Amino acid sequence: FTAYSHLLGAQASTQQCTWIFSPSADGEYHDIASIRGFIDFKRNRPNVPWLLEWAYFTDDDNVPKSLIKVEPIEKREPDQNNPMGVPFYYSFCSKPLPSVISSRKREGRTVHELEEAPIGNTESITCITAQITRDVFKSYRTREDRYREVLVRARTPVERLVFDQIVHLDLIGPHDPELFIFGEFTGYDWSKPAEFRNPHSCLPMSVSIHKLGMGIKATYTPYIQWYTDMIEDVFLKLQWDPSKFRTYRVVIDYPVIPSTVNMRSLLPDKQ
């Protein structure tokens, strides 16, 4: 961790990634919320740019779904300067907001580059983004679509990764999610579903998925003091009932970089 932080010139106390899955209005598809970011992100040397990622969607054949409409969960206030349209979760970002100097498409996903900033703890930031997309991917298992798979990429030196999948009861399949942690030392297949990955790139780590309870209180984590407040705010904004959602969590101290952490769930049968 110390070596990577020095070499790359940046680090954070916590990387947070949360996916929330709710049935669409007609129950045939998913509505998906994605909340992600870094807590206490800082530079260790000057003139270090860094990338933020948005949510990224592919089908079972690893084809990017570029036409999916993705919207910010929290609307921008008139006095908030955000010319690049980054979906900041303003209520849970540090102030002032980080400056973003570019926006571009890479591998079917939109990325933003954080502006270079001074070094040290006094210049650390907390930067969270939050998005919602509706009516995507079948909510039940078919011959073409069997799994719901979510992932987070570890590319930043962090002390811990907190990775949550929060799922509505109607979307929970017959088995608990499976966990895969893939080393990305080849670099070419990070977004592939687990079944199409090279099994030899799976890292032998003693990490498991924690099956937590239902509702907001089940999302508590000692690593992010305001996390339950944030998740409660998401549910309020989206008008979803949190008592009908279960949380699955993975926590990794000092995650390997570069790597990808995947949670794969077999979709339920159509009722």
Read off the pLDDT of residues 86-101 as tens digits, 9 standing for 90 and up: 889 999 999 988 888 7
Please check whether residue 138 is in contact with residue 268, taking contact to mean a CB–CB distance below 8 angstroms.
Answer: no
Instruction: Decide if pLDDT at 64 tops 80.
Output: no
Please check whether residue 76 is in contact with residue 38, taking contact to mean a CB–CB distance below 8 angstroms.
Answer: no
User: What's 169's DSSP letter?
Assistant: G
Return the percentage of the chain with pLDDT > 90, whole number: 58
Q: Where are the domains of the chain?
A: 2-266
pLDDT at 271: 73
Per-residue pLDDT band for 33 (boundaries 50, 70, 90) equals very high
Per-residue pLDDT band for 46 (boundaries 50, 70, 90) equals confident
CA distance 248 to 238: 20
CA distance 177 to 211: 9
Q: Lowest mean pLDDT of 25-34, 38-47, 54-63, 204-213, name the range.
A: 54-63
DSSP string, 200-235: GGB-------EEEEESSGGG--TT-TTHHHHHHHHH
Burial class (CB within 10 angstroms; exposed 0-12, middle 13-18, buried 19+) of 29? middle
Per-residue pLDDT band for 106 (boundaries 50, 70, 90) equals low
Q: Which two tokens stand for residue 69?
A: 């409409």
Return the percentage of the chain with pLDDT > 70, whole number: 84
Question: What average pLDDT does this structure show over 144-168?
Answer: 93
Strand, coil or helix: what is 193? coil
Average pLDDT along the chain: 87
Q: Which two tokens stand for residue 24?
A: 């669409």
SS3 of the chain: helix, strand, coil, percent, to 5: 15, 40, 45
Which is higher by pLDDT, 6 or 167? 167
Q: pTM of the predicted model, to two decimals? A: 0.91
- The CATH number of 2-266 is 2.60.40
